Amino acid sequence: MEIKHLSKKFGKKQVLTDINYTFSNGVYGILGPNGAGKTTLMRCILNLYRYQEGSVTFSTEEGDIRSQDKIGYLPQKNGIFSGLTVEEQLMYFANLKNMDKSLWEAEITRVLQLVNLEEVRKKKGRKLSGGMVRRVGIAQALLNHPALVIFDEPTTGLDPEERIRFKNILRYLQHETIVLMSTHIVEDVEAVCDHVLVLKDGQLAAAGTQEEISRYADGKVYEIGQEEYVEGDYIEKEKEIEGKGIYRILTNRPLEGRAPETANIEDGYLCILKNI
């Protein structure tokens, strides 16, 4: 998938500015603060929004994935048809994806196994818990072996066990699918994403592998005592060791005699956001 010079305005407000990126199979995490343009970018990719400039092209060896209904999407909030059973819901979406009817049964079984919902297959929507509803949402996105899957805040509402299961699903998908996942939870990105895109004020501020993003914070992460804090340091975390307050900070000032901590993706992400 290739995004070229993508720009989007809402009225006079510029929401996305000249986004360029090429995606290949793998899991991509889209990070950014609220209002950075994450959801707008995904909606532009999905053609839910009309954009003023640029293009989004999809191509596989088989051709355009749009015309093959090979796109899976899980919106930020997904619900359920309260009167239909889990199986019927998935039939509904399989129908929407123009799947051959003879394949429905096997495909529904496959995705239900992936999200661990086989035992509630015949249960009506109104009887499912919030986490189950989210998993049905994930299952519908995976129908028809999509070439592109877009998850908007996918782990919201999942318990820790299901989070792990979801991450496993992503690992399973990463070799054959482009997975785009927007999230606020950096740990989720850290756990499963091969690549990270950081959006800031509608612009692609940084993109690369986890290591590449982490490198933005190389030599800028320190753990200091509270008394060493200087205005301008960005406090990332606060902890207490033996009754003494310790800050994990991001800073550009040199701290003599101190070795910087190993930077992780969160550090890199924050350095990009805070221009450190």
Partner 1 sequence: MKMYWKLFARSIIRKVLMLLLIAVPLRPLVIRLSYVFQSPDPIGNSNWIIYLLDFFRTLSGDYIYIFILFLFLAYDYFREIPDAAALEIVKTSREERRHDCRQALVLWTLLFGYAVILCSLYVGGVMLSNSTMHALTPELVWYFVRHTAVYILLNGSIAIGFAWLISRCVGRLVGYICVILFAALFSPIALSQIRGFFIVNSHIYDWFQVCFIMPEGLTNLVPEVLYPVNWSIAARGFVWIGLIVLGLAGYYFARTGKRIRWAGIAAGICCSALSLWYAVLPVSYYSANDTTGERDPGYDQFRYVIRETPQQEKEAAFRIESYELTLKMGRQMQAEAVLHPDRKGLECYEMTLYHLYRIDSVTDETGEALAYERNGDYLTVYGRADGPEEIRIRYHGGGALFYGNRREMNLPGWFAYYPMAGFHRIYRSEEYQYEKNYAEEPARFHIEVDAAGTVYSDLERIEGNCFEGMTTGPTLLAGFYREAKLENGVTCVYPYLETALSPESNLFPENRMEAMEILEEEGLGREKILFCYGGAYGVPDVFEEDRVISATGWLVFVTHYEREGSLTERHEKTEEEKFEEAVTVVTESYRIMRGSEEEGIFVYQDFENTYLNQMEEFGYTETDMETFVLEYLGEDAWNDIIEWRKEDGN
Binding positions for partner 1, rule: CB under 8 A = 46-50, 66-67, 69, 71, 73, 75, 77-84, 88, 91-93, 95-98, 125, 140
Q: Which is nearer to partner 1, 74 or 272 (CB)?
A: 74
Given a contact cutoff of 8 angstroms between Cβ atoms, the answer to whether 256 and 222 are in contact is no
> What is the three-class DSSP state of 256?
coil
Q: Are 195 and 24 in contact (CB under 8 A)?
A: no
Cβ closer to partner 1: 80 or 224? 80
Rounded to a whole number of angstroms, the minimum distance from the CB of residue 83 to partner 1 is 3
Least distance in angstroms from the C-beta of 97 to partner 1: 7
Q: Give dist(CA 17, CA 72) in Å, integer.
A: 25
Nearer to partner 1, 47 or 168 (CB): 47
Single-letter amino acid, residue 202: G
- Distance from C-alpha of 171 to C-alpha of 256, rounded to nearest angstrom: 42
Nearer to partner 1, 128 or 204 (CB): 128
Six-digit token string for 189: 């990105």
Shortest distance, CB of residue 15 to partner 1, whole angstroms?
Answer: 16
Strands (E), 58-184: 71-74, 148-152, 178-182
Residue with smaller CB distance to partner 1, 134 or 195:
134
Instruction: Report d(CA 253, CA 248) in Å as an integer.
Output: 14
Query: To the nearest whole angstrom, how small is the minimum distance from the Cβ of residue 221 to partner 1?
Result: 39
Q: Minimum Å distance from CB 68 to partner 1?
A: 9
Q: Which is nearer to partner 1, 96 or 230 (CB)?
A: 96
Give the 3-state secondary structure of residue 187. Answer: helix
Q: CB of residue 91 vs partner 1: minimum separation in angstroms?
A: 6
| Ramachandran quadrant class, 243 (left: phi over 0; alpha: psi -120 to 50; beta: rest) | left
